């Protein structure tokens, strides 16, 4: 657990220009930047070929995850290409502090992506445009040229100052600054769950939901809040259900991950591919297999679960936390449903650094598991008391 600071800090040259060009408008410069970011976010002409926008994989109708759940990972604009990781929600990620090593706590925290490899939302937004398995633009110039042709191109000068799109590098910085501004709006962090309403004294949780919450918080039971804090933040803000730290839960390889069958150009290791997570970013074996703690807000809407989408159900996730270290190892690969049926769990994708202290043998009853799952259903935004 740690004190969270807002990830607003990234200073891009465009931010300063924006202030200078503030017209006598009723809308603030930040709002106008965010409105432009919204247009970019939904613009499917910004991929190569055209056809995929940020919203294709981060759809507001499903808490900004991929609405296509047929596969555990998302397809790119080239529809036969699949990435290696499950698309996380982009919601509440504005709260992730810039990626850093916390000296006092002795661990990494914050950043964007499952492995923290982008420090900020601005840095993150650059990646999908240029990723061959996603929007597949060959370079920044290609992205900027597409934006120059967009109906809203003229707004760039209004928001960021004269000739904002004239040169490729600064133009690309303005594009990602606008996207990040959009991702910092209330649309991405509405704080309107049943649990929020309960904390504000505007709703009642059922007795089962309350039992689930107690188990979720109890260090001797679920202990979930150790990494997914459920209490108000130190500044009084509603809980984010992530502390933005990194852990290896021992999640099995997902035999259904289409990345294993990708062309050698994207995945030279084929079926032997192992996702090192944070370890691959900071180049340390001691961080191998660790992934960023995801928020549990809207979790009922964002299946499948975990970095590789191994779990299709919340019940399976909680069962895994409960008895990961009690069941025998499955012989060979097994998807979640098979493992549950056979009473086994496959070995971890990466055995180094698996957390055996806070999970694996929680001693929860079947009823306890159901109660925690019931509580998790109270974390979906849009609840009307
Ligand atoms: C083809 C699907 C796809 C598209 C298109 C896409 N994303 Fe993502 N997004 C992903 C995946 C997969 C990840 C996780 C990748 C990883 O961790 O390595 C991700 C991660 C993120 C994150 C980090 C969330 C977190 O929990 O750390 C943000 C924010 C985000 N995307 C925003 C965007 C924006 C902005 C765009 C458009 C410029 C975009 N995405 C386009 C699939 C996509
Ligand atoms: C030691 C830290 C830690 C504890 C304790 C913990 N989690 Fe997690 N949780 C994580 C991490 C890290 C991930 C992502 C791991 C991955 O993808 O490999 C995760 C993922 C999840 C996911 C999937 C989220 C998604 O978007 O895919 C759910 C659901 C979840 N946890 C629920 C729980 C519940 C319920 C408990 C208590 C029974 C719990 N967690 C306890 C760290 C923790």
Which of the four pLDDT bands, split at 50, 70 and 90, describes residue 26?
A: confident
Average pLDDT over residues 267-276: 97
19 CA → ligand 2 middle, Å? 41
Average pLDDT over residues 23-40: 87
Q: Tell me: the pLDDT tens digits for 331-363?
A: 989 999 999 999 999 999 999 999 999 999 999
- Whole-number Å distance between alpha carbons of 212 and 22: 50
Q: Tell me: the pLDDT tens digits for 292-323?
A: 999 999 999 999 999 999 999 999 999 999 99
Cα dihedral sign, 175-176-178-183: positive
Average pLDDT over residues 209-219: 98
The number of the ligand nearest the C-alpha atom of 369 reads 2
- Whole-number Å distance between alpha carbons of 267 and 182: 33
Question: Would you call the peptide bond into 304 cis, given omega within 30 degrees of 0 as the criterion?
Answer: yes
Residue nearest to atom 41 of ligand 1 (CA): 54
Which of the four pLDDT bands, split at 50, 70 and 90, describes residue 14?
A: low
290 CA → ligand 1 middle, Å? 18
Question: What is the structure's pLDDT at 372?
Answer: 98
Rounded percentage of the chain residues whose pLDDT exceeds 90: 92
Q: Which two tokens stand for residue 177?
A: 């600054």
Average pLDDT over residues 229-253: 98
Q: For residue 91, give the nearest of 204, 230, 193 by alpha carbon.
A: 193
Residue nearest to atom 6 of ligand 2 (CA): 224
Cα dihedral sign, 115-117-120-126: negative
Residue nearest to atom 36 of ligand 1 (CA): 54
Q: Tell me: the pLDDT tens digits for 163-195?
A: 999 999 999 999 999 999 999 999 999 999 999
Q: Which long-range contacts (CB under 8 A, 24 or more apart) does 156-165 make?
A: 156/36, 157/21, 158/21, 158/23, 158/32, 159/18, 159/21, 159/29, 159/32, 159/33, 159/36, 160/14, 160/17, 160/18, 160/21, 160/33, 161/14, 161/17, 161/18, 161/20, 161/21, 162/21, 164/14, 164/17
Average pLDDT over residues 41-69: 98
- Whole-number Å distance between alpha carbons of 124 and 111: 9
Question: What is the structure's pLDDT at 25?
Answer: 53
Residue nearest to atom 5 of ligand 2 (CA): 224
Question: What is the structure's pLDDT at 385?
Answer: 84
In angstroms, what CA-CA distances link 270 with 69, 82, 140, 266?
Answer: 23, 13, 29, 9
Which of the four pLDDT bands, split at 50, 70 and 90, describes residue 267?
A: very high
Q: Which two tokens stand for residue 141?
A: 């110039």
Mean pLDDT of the chain: 94
Q: Is 364 in the pocket of ligand 2 (CB under 6 A)?
A: no
Q: Is 80 exceeded by the pLDDT of residue 268?
A: yes
The number of the ligand nearest the C-alpha atom of 308 reads 2
Question: What is the structure's pLDDT at 4?
Answer: 41
Q: Is 197 in the pocket of ligand 2 (CB under 6 A)?
A: no
Q: Is 113 in the pocket of ligand 1 (CB under 6 A)?
A: yes
- Whole-number Å distance between alpha carbons of 98 and 116: 9
Q: Which atom of ligand 1 is nearest to the CA of 116?
A: 27
Report the phi/psi class of residue 161: left, alpha or beta, with left for phi > 0 and alpha for psi in -120 to 50. left
Q: Which atom of ligand 2 is nearest to the CA of 362?
A: 38
Q: Tell me: the pLDDT tens digits for 80-104?
A: 999 999 999 999 999 999 999 999 9
The number of the ligand nearest the C-alpha atom of 176 reads 1
Question: Could you tell which of 93, 96, 224, 301 is best to mutate to test the pocket of ligand 2, judged by most ligand atoms within 8 Å of the CB?
Answer: 224
């Amino acid at each position: 657990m740690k004190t969270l600071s807002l990830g607003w800090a990234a200073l891009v040259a465009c931010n300063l220009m924006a202030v200078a060009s503030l017209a006598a408008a009723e809308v603030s410069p930040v709002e106008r930047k965010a409105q432009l970011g919204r247009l970019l976010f939904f613009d499917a002409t910004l991929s190569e070929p055209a056809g995929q926008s940020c919203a294709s994989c981060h759809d507001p109708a499903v808490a900004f995850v991929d609405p296509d759940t047929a596969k555990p990972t998302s397809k790119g604009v080239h529809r036969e290409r699949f990435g290696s990781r499950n698309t996380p929600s982009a919601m509440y990620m504005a709260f992730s502090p810039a990626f850093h090593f916390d000296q006092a706590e002795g661990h990494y925290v914050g950043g964007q992506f499952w492995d923290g490899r982008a420090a900020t939302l601005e840095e993150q937004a650059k990646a999908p445009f240029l990723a061959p398995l996603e929007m597949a633009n060959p370079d920044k110039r290609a992205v900027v040229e597409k934006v120059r042709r967009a109906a809203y191109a003229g707004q760039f000068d209004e928001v960021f100052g004269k000739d904002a799109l004239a040169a490729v590098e600064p133009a690309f910085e303005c594009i990602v600054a606008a996207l990040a501004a959009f991702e910092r709006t209330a649309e991405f962090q509405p704080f309107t769950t049943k649990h929020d309403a309960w904390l504000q004294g505007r709703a009642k949780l059922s007795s089962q939901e309350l039992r689930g919450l107690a188990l979720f918080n109890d260090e001797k039971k679920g202990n979930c809040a150790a990494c997914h804090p459920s209490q108000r933040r130190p500044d009084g803000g509603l809980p984010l259900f992530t502390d933005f730290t990194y852990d290896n839960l021992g999640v099995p390889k997902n035999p259904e991950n289409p990345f294993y069958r990708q062309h050698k150009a994207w995945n030279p290791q084929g079926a032997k591919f192992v996702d090192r997570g944070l370890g691959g970013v900071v180049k340390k074996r001691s961080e191998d297999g660790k992934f960023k703690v995801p928020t549990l807000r809207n979790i009922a809407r964002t299946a499948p679960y975990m970095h590789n989408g191994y779990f299709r159900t919340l019940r399976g996730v909680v069962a895994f936390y409960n008895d990961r270290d009690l069941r025998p190892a499955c012989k060979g690969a097994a998807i979640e449903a098979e493992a549950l049926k056979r009473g086994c769990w496959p070995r971890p994708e990466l055995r180094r650094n698996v957390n055996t202290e806070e999970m694996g043998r929680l001693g929860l009853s079947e009823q306890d598991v159901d109660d925690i799952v019931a509580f998790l259903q109270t974390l979906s935004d849009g609840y009307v008391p």
